[in-house]
Amino acid sequence: MTEHILTVAGVAVDTRHWIGGERVASADTFTDVSPIDGSALGEIARGGPAEAAAAVAAAKAAFPGWAATPRAERARILHAVADGVEKRIEELAIVETTDNGALLRSHRRGVMPRVAHNFRFFADWLLTLDHDDFATRGHTNHVSWDPAGPSVLITPWNAPLMLATWKVAPALAAGNTVVLKPAEWSPLTASLLADIAAEAGLPAGVLNVVQGYGAEIGDALTSHPDVRRISFTGSVPTAQRIAASAAPRLTPLSLELGGKSPLLVFADADLDLAVDLAVEQYDNAGQVCLAATRLLVEESVAEEFTRRFVDKATRLRQGDPRDETTDIGPNIHPRQLEKIDGFVRRALAAGARAVIGGHPKDGQYYAPTLLTEVAQDSEIVQEEVFGPVLTLQTFATEDEAVALANDTRFGLAATLATGDRERAERVGAQLVAGTVWINCFFVRDLQAPFGGSRHSGVGREGGTWSFDFYCDLKNTVTAPKGFKDHG
């Protein structure tokens, strides 16, 4: 037993899968490495087709009972899961920081409380989920949300537990059973979630957690004939493979993919606010899908904006994410760091200028970077880097700003800084994005629809939209006559 337990910053984490309410080992393992210092944290069970089949079978077996569980009881258990998360916020925070390198202070104060909120929100939303009956020529229409079945949830490494529970919570609230596959670069808090859910009274098989590589266990999950829903957050190429895998069975998909979001700064904006918004894009070492990595600044204020940006950005502290004074931690993995540096080196070779940064630092840290003199059709402007790298371009007119903002294959988010309310409404309406922030950034409410346009995704989740995805919607039409009176 102890051979399967890691001690991470004093917290015990089981490295095995969680299938059907039991810990299950695999013959093979993979090494989990901390991005903080490159140290090996331990060996994690490496699943494949056999573990995928077992997890889906467990979810299928548990589905009838969980689907039939009254809404109020499902909500009660989800609130108990939230209670368990809140009791272990410090443990979850330090394990996730060690595992993925994000700031410990952010995990303590924002991310892990949000994990608990995810469960509470969807538990409460379930109890209010309703649609008014309506009449058609005297007949009554009644809309209901029926649980769809076993759901496969594949989650990313940049905010592992928060983004996992953004999917797990509504899927469970809807009455579905779940197979969660966390990213292999950050698997540890998903294992702790399995413990918390079991302690909260979630029945065996309702939540299963399997670990491993996408090509080995992910493909087996997404192609399984008993899977009724697939939700994925990650890259476009991986989403394309998942969609191809799900296509023969027409398994419904929800895909939240990459972004190359713009931040439009007009001359009438509060420049200090605009600079704050721009520097905020370095959050989580730039590993945020929503990040506005393309700064589009009106020509007349570009020089002053750049001066203020450089002054603020160069004062950011980069280092150990466990230090309360650190602003930017490491990037997740040597492969990711190499990818980031490759983008920057190719951009510099093509004529871009690094105003700040432009190079890796010691270990898995990349210097916050701002590139100017970049062409609109260049790789660095068009493709997602997923690191602390921003580009700056200028525009002369509002129409040009909108054209530049919309000129990528992505459409996840957009941010707009302006002092003119009419312009904000006018430009915001023209931006191709799932979310538009005006004079703010990263303000998210779980009742709002979330997702992307174009190559940034398929579908929307949040509030009732989540239940629309995780359920089969049914309309029952009842005639006003034809029933016998048994009174």
The span from the CA of 66 to the CA of 292, in Å, is: 41
Residue 77 domain flag: yes
The span from the CA of 244 to the CA of 482, in Å, is: 47
Q: Is the model's pLDDT at 3 over the cut of 90? A: no
Mean pLDDT for the chain overall: 97
Residues 312 and 197 occupy one common structural domain: no
**Which amino acid, residue 4?**
H
Is residue 256 part of the annotated active site? The answer reads: yes
Residue 486 domain flag: no
pLDDT digits (tens, 9 = 90+) for 252-310: 999 999 999 999 999 999 999 999 999 999 999 999 999 999 999 999 999 999 999 99
Print the domain residue range for 220.
2-257+452-475
pTM for the whole structure: 0.96
Give the Å distances, CA to CA, from 166 to 114, 169, 306, 429.
9, 6, 36, 27
**8 Å CB contact between 41 and 188:** yes
Residue 183: name the closest of 387, 20, 333, 10 by CA: 333
Residue 370 domain flag: yes
Residues 154 and 167 occupy one common structural domain: yes
Q: For residue 268, what pLDDT is reported?
A: 97
Q: For residue 487, what pLDDT is reported?
A: 59
The bridge status of strand 40-45 relative to strand 29-33 is antiparallel
**8 Å CB contact between 8 and 91:** no
Residues 242 and 266 occupy one common structural domain: no
Give how far the C-alpha of residue 55 lies from the chain's centroid of Cα atoms, to the nearest Å: 23
Residues 223 and 326 occupy one common structural domain: no
Residues 61 and 132 occupy one common structural domain: yes
Q: Is the dihedral of CA 96, 358, 267, 415 positive or negative?
A: negative
3 state SS for the chain: CHHHEEEECCEEEECCEEECCEEECCCCEEEEECCCCCCEEEEEECCCHHHHHHHHHHHHHHHHHHHHCCHHHHHHHHHHHHHHHHHCHHHHHHHHHHHHCCCHHHHHHHHHHHHHHHHHHHHHHHHHCCCCCEEECCEEEEEEEEECCCEEEECCCCCHHHHHHHHHHHHHHCCCCEEEECCCCCCHHHHHHHHHHHHCCCCCCCEEECCCCHHHHHHHHHCCCCCCEEEEECCHHHHHHHHHHHHHHCCCEEEECCCCCEEEECCCCCHHHHHHHHHHHHHHHHCCCCCCCEEEEEHHHHHHHHHHHHHHHCCCCECCCCCCCCCECCCCCHHHHHHHHHHHHHHHHCCCEEEECCCECCCCCECCEEEECCCCCCHHHHCCCCCCEEEEEEECCHHHHHHHHHCCCCCCEEEEECCCHHHHHHHHHHCCCCEEEECCCCCCCCCCCECCCHHHEECCECHHHHHHHHEEEEEEEECCCCCCCCC
Residue 445 domain flag: no
Rounded to the nearest 10 degrees, the angle between the axes of helix 71-87 and helix 112-128 is: 170
Radius of gyration, alpha carbons of the chain: 24
Phi, psi of 295 (to 5 degrees): -85, 120
User: What band does 485 get if pLDDT is binned at 50, 70 and 90?
Assistant: confident
Q: List the Cα angle 241/245/250 in 5-degree steps.
A: 125
Q: Is the model's pLDDT at 194 over the cut of 60? A: yes
- The residue from 256, 298, 384, 461 that is catalytic is 256
Rounded to the nearest 10 degrees, the angle between the axes of helix 89-100 and helix 188-199 is: 160
Residues 220 and 365 occupy one common structural domain: no
Domain count, the chain: 2
Residue 189 domain flag: yes
Rounded to the nearest 10 degrees, the angle between the axes of helix 463-470 and helix 112-128 is: 70
pLDDT digits (tens, 9 = 90+) for 5-44: 999 999 999 999 999 999 999 999 999 999 999 999 999 9
Q: What is the CATH number of the domain that holds 92?
A: 3.40.605.10
Q: Is the model's pLDDT at 451 over the cut of 70? A: yes
Q: How many CB atoms lie within 10 A of CB 30?
A: 19
Residue 484 domain flag: no
Length of the chain: 487
Tokens of 352: 């871009």
Residue 447 domain flag: no
pLDDT digits (tens, 9 = 90+) for 295-341: 999 999 999 999 999 999 999 999 999 999 999 999 999 999 999 99
Q: For the chain, what percent of residues have pLDDT higher than 90?
A: 98
Residue 483 domain flag: no
Q: Is the model's pLDDT at 1 over the cut of 60? A: no
Residue 219: name the closest of 247, 248, 241, 186 by CA: 241
Residues 49 and 101 occupy one common structural domain: yes
Residues 163 and 181 occupy one common structural domain: yes
**8 Å CB contact between 175 and 150:** no
Residues 415 and 456 occupy one common structural domain: no
Residues 298 and 222 occupy one common structural domain: no
Residues 299 and 173 occupy one common structural domain: no
Is residue 440 part of the annotated active site? The answer reads: no
- The residue from 51, 91, 184, 289 that is catalytic is 289
Residues 434 and 459 occupy one common structural domain: no
Q: What is the CATH number of the domain that holds 295?
A: 3.40.309.10
